[in-house]
Each structure stands twice: as structure tokens, then as C-alpha cells.
């Protein structure tokens, strides 16, 4: 993962309901516009954030999304940290496999979300929860 300097106070959104997933999408879109991500990159980031927020709600039992702006000295970006205290992911390699789903739905899954962002980091432990950090950089 590329590191960056945090440019301001992160905004935190609790994820406890479907309405909160919508709020995460709105917060990410607003932040992406402020950083001047292209429309395509805004859409990619919001789509990834929506998938990860929904996963936080459904599989993690709820949690938080922390959205911040960052800079690596050459460009600005949006960093989002999704954290839950859920059951964790027992087989991370399997969960990151293209097309893998436990919900029987047509969601992007973790692998799809990973493809939509520039940096993707996941920390998980069974019984301790999951933290996923994603960053999308301006072009």
C-alpha cells in the first residue's frame, strides 16, 4: 500500500443499517469530488465503498467507515478505512478469489472492490474482526 499524509480530520460514518451504507456512499462521493478525482475514478471508488460498507454490515455485523483525504506529495487521494468487530474472515485467500461469494448474490466481492481502487489492504483475524483500507489517487 502506498502511504500518504493525511490532509485533514477524517469523517467517520457508523455502519449499522442500509441507510448508513447510503450515507457512506454520499460521504465518499463528496470527498472524491473535493479531491478532484475524475468522474470515472469517483464512480469506481463509490462502487468499491458501497460493496465494502455492505460487507461490513452483513458479514461484520456493522462497524465504521473512516473517510479522509491524503497526499503522497505528487497527488491527492481519498482513503477509506472500514472496520468491524465481527467474526473475521477464516479463509482470506478464498474470499479474495474472483467470483467468490458467501451471500449467493451478484456483489463485487472483495476481489472486485480491490480492482476498483489503487491501494487495498486487509487485516483480519477469526473472532476479532476485519479492517480494510482502500485508497484511490487522483490521476
For 97-125, the pLDDT digits (tens) are: 877 776 655 567 899 999 999 999 999 99
Report the alpha-carbon distance of residue 52 to residue 110 in Å, rounded.
7
Pairing mode, strands 76-84 and 11-15: unpaired
For 13-40, the pLDDT digits (tens) are: 999 999 999 999 999 999 999 999 999 9
Residue ranges of the domains in the chain?
11-137
CATH number of 11-137: 3.30.565.10
Report the alpha-carbon distance of residue 17 to residue 77 in Å, rounded.
27
Q: How many helices (H) and strands (E) does the chain have?
A: 4, 6
Q: What is the pLDDT of residue 100?
A: 72
Indicate the pTM of the whole model.
0.90
Query: What are 6's strand-pairing partners?
Result: 70
Amino acid at each position: 500500500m502506498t502511504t500518504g499524509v493525511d490532509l485533514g480530520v477524517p469523517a467517520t460514518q457508523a455502519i449499522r443499517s442500509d441507510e448508513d451504507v447510503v450515507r457512506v456512499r454520499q460521504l465518499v462521493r463528496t470527498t472524491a469530488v473535493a479531491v478532484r478525482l475524475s468522474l470515472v475514478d469517483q464512480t469506481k471508488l463509490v462502487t468499491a465503498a458501497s460493496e465494502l460498507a455492505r460487507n461490513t454490515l452483513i458479514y461484520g455485523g456493522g462497524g465504521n467507515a473512516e473517510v479522509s483525504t491524503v497526499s503522497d506529495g505528487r497527488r491527492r487521494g481519498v482513503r477509506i478505512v472500514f472496520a468491524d468487530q465481527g467474526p473475521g474472515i477464516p479463509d482470506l485467500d478464498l474470499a479474495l478469489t474472483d467470483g467468490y461469494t458467501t451471500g449467493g448474490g451478484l456483489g463485487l466481492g472483495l476481489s472486485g472492490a480491490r480492482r476498483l481502487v489503487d491501494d487495498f489492504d486487509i487485516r483480519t483475524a477469526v473472532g476479532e474482526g476485519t479492517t480494510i483500507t482502500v485508497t484511490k489517487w487522483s490521476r
